[in-house]
Amino acid sequence: MQQEDPSAANAIEAERFRHFIVSVTDYAIYTLSPEGVVITWNAGAQRFKGYREDEIVGRHFSVFYTAEEQARGRPLHALEQAKTVGKFEDEGWRVRKDGTRFWASVVLDPIRDVAGELLGFTKITRDVTAQRAAQEELHASEERFRLLVQGVTDHAIYMLSPEGVVTNWNEGARRIKGYQAEEVVGRSFAMFYTPEDQAAEAPRAALEAALAQGRFEREGWRVRKDGTRFWANVVIEPIRDPMGKLIGFAKVTRDITERRLAAEQLERTRESLAQSQKLEAIGKLTGGIAHDFNNLLNVVMNGLDILRTVTDRSVQGRALDAMERAAQRGASLTQQLLAFARQQPLRQEPHDIGRVIRSFEAVLHRAVPSRMRLGLRVESDLPNVLIDPTQFESALLNLVVNARDAMRDHGDVTIHAGAVQLADGEVGQLAAGTYVRVAVTDAGTGMAPETVARAVEPFFTTKQVGKGTGLGLSQVYGLAQQCQGDLVIKSTEGEGTTVALYFPAIVGEDGAHSKSGHSKAEKVLLVDDQPDVLETAVALFGHLGYEVLSANNGIEALETLRGNPDIAILFSDVVMPGIGGIELAKIARREFPDVKVILASGYTRSSLHDQSADLDAFDLIPKPYRLSDLIKTLGAVRPR
């Protein structure tokens, strides 16, 4: 095989390289003689500088420099620097053929032969005008931002190193803290903290919190150069480079001492106003109490005089009736005062408030005249709440009567009961959670804002003299407060009023809302052979919040018991045909030992002869019984 000539191969490689250089368009690449005359020219040079090869080859490269640079001898300096140092790099303005300028990045390298003799220079030029413009814009932006920050006087804005050392200082910082830049730059920002905060390592904790949370904001005392203190709002944010590395913190401090002092003064003013309003309310309360009790005492004292001096039995009887009514009125007034003061003894038990309302519906309908309509909307499956059903019914009736009076005997009154989810502080001071809301809405005359603000004050009323005591809403408000709830009034003059009661839902240990209907006696079985008596008992127990099942005789009662193992109370008449109450109670006690048994009878124990001994094993309530007797017995009975 014929061996390839090395010189020929080198010539071919050199030619390839020349073609490569000539075709490059992103860089101006050309060669110069030792004196700086252009020898070669590529496409990039023609594109950047505008000269064709035949227009520039043979001319000195100083033609690309500005007149100012030529006058300074910059082109010759570049050649000399490249020749002696081995390389010359520079950036500066260069001139195109058409006279326009561009910002160039220039590299000039010397070319030497094997013996070290200078043959010329290689020059590479890049047009970096766009990059320079971007850098100038960035610099200008940074300068504008610096001037902006420096010009701010209401905020202390400065930078910290990652260790908390102050690295710059603006005019606002000087004005607020009293230090000149040279007095504080290079020192730890902990110097602005009080000795107490420094001892507690508050500065370090602030930087750690800013790193962990991305932002730290706090208010507290800070110290000026002269030792005086000011109340500051402080924001610290970490600053990171594009790679995520922490390079420091930005810190903004505002002096809000005046705002804090103003807030404290406002709070003192509010407390003073509240105290004044309390004294006014106490004055009205005592005045109202004195007025009402003087009237009641007047009736009692006059009645006593009549009893001492008048012998006519009919006159004495009327006096006694008047005295009894006065005493009852006094007791009612005392109850209302206790309710307002949240000192009324309540029998609070878990109840389905919807069931309580429905059982009381007939009474509510009787409270409004026939020309008015009472609408009742009770949502199903409401969570249980802790209430005293009797006091709740009284409060609800009070609200319905108020709504009736506001509409002058015509229009609609609506009662709506439903579950709502409240955020923290959404209603008064109530905590976040589930509540049962009972709202009474009318389309009456409405109230002015100042009337709404005072509506729950004792003895405050807009009704005519003798039409109301002014304690109705106070009593309702007190009930809501005692049940850990609240009362809200929304009213617009001429459009009507809504009074809403909020009661917290009972939450079990598992976090679920209780919906059992009654915590101790969820389901009761009533047994009586007299239909009227049984119907009355069903209504009474339903009113108390129980789920009621009924039976007309002992056999039917046993079937009901065996089909409903969750019955908690058996309430049966004693004397019935077939299986009597005592026999039924014995069977129930034997088969269902957890069932509470209460027997009711119009006979005395002694009159029941041989059955009296068996009665001793069960709780007995005599007929006729009142609601209070029933509640007392139900509260005392226990399984045996």
Does residue 451 carry a pLDDT above 60?
yes
Per-residue confidence at 517, pLDDT binned at 50, 70, 90?
very low
CATH of the domain spanning 349-504, picked from 3.30.565.10, 3.40.50.11240, 3.40.50.280, 3.30.70.380: 3.30.565.10
In the prediction, which pLDDT does 500 show? 94
Q: If you average pLDDT over residues 220-241, what whole number do you get?
A: 92
For the full predicted model, state whether its pTM sits above 0.85. no
Does residue 483 carry a pLDDT above 90?
no
The beta strands (E) that lie in 19-100 are given as 28-32, 88-95
Whole-number Å distance between alpha carbons of 142 and 474: 65
**How is the beta sheet containing 547-551 ordered, strand by strand?**
547-551, 523-527, 569-573, 596-601, 619-622
Whole-number Å distance between alpha carbons of 172 and 149: 9
Whole-number Å distance between alpha carbons of 500 and 450: 18
Residue 121: Cβ-neighbour burial (10 angstroms; 0-12, 13-18, 19+): buried
Q: Which tokens hold the place of 203?
A: 């500065």
Check the CA dihedral 415-421-424-430 and report its sign. positive
Per-residue confidence at 106, pLDDT binned at 50, 70, 90?
very high
Structural fold of domain 6-127: Beta-Lactamase (3.30.450)
Check residues 359 and 150 and name the one with the higher pLDDT. Answer: 359
Structural fold of domain 134-255: Beta-Lactamase (3.30.450)
Which of these ranges, 205-214, 225-234, 284-293, has the smallest mean pLDDT? 284-293
In the prediction, which pLDDT does 522 show? 62
Per-residue confidence at 5, pLDDT binned at 50, 70, 90?
low
In the prediction, which pLDDT does 467 show? 45
Whole-number Å distance between alpha carbons of 584 and 48: 115
- Write the pLDDT tens digit of every residue in 487-514: 999 988 888 899 999 999 987 545 556 5
134-255 and 349-504: identical CATH topology:
no
CA torsion 172-173-176-181 (nearest 10°) is -120
Q: For the domain covering 523-636, report its CATH number.
A: 3.40.50.2300
Q: If you average pLDDT over residues 181-198, what whole number do you get?
A: 93
- Write the pLDDT tens digit of every residue in 296-327: 777 777 778 778 887 888 877 887 887 887 77
Domain boundaries, the chain: 6-127, 134-255, 261-340, 349-504, 523-636
In the prediction, which pLDDT does 78 show? 92
Per-residue confidence at 518, pLDDT binned at 50, 70, 90?
very low
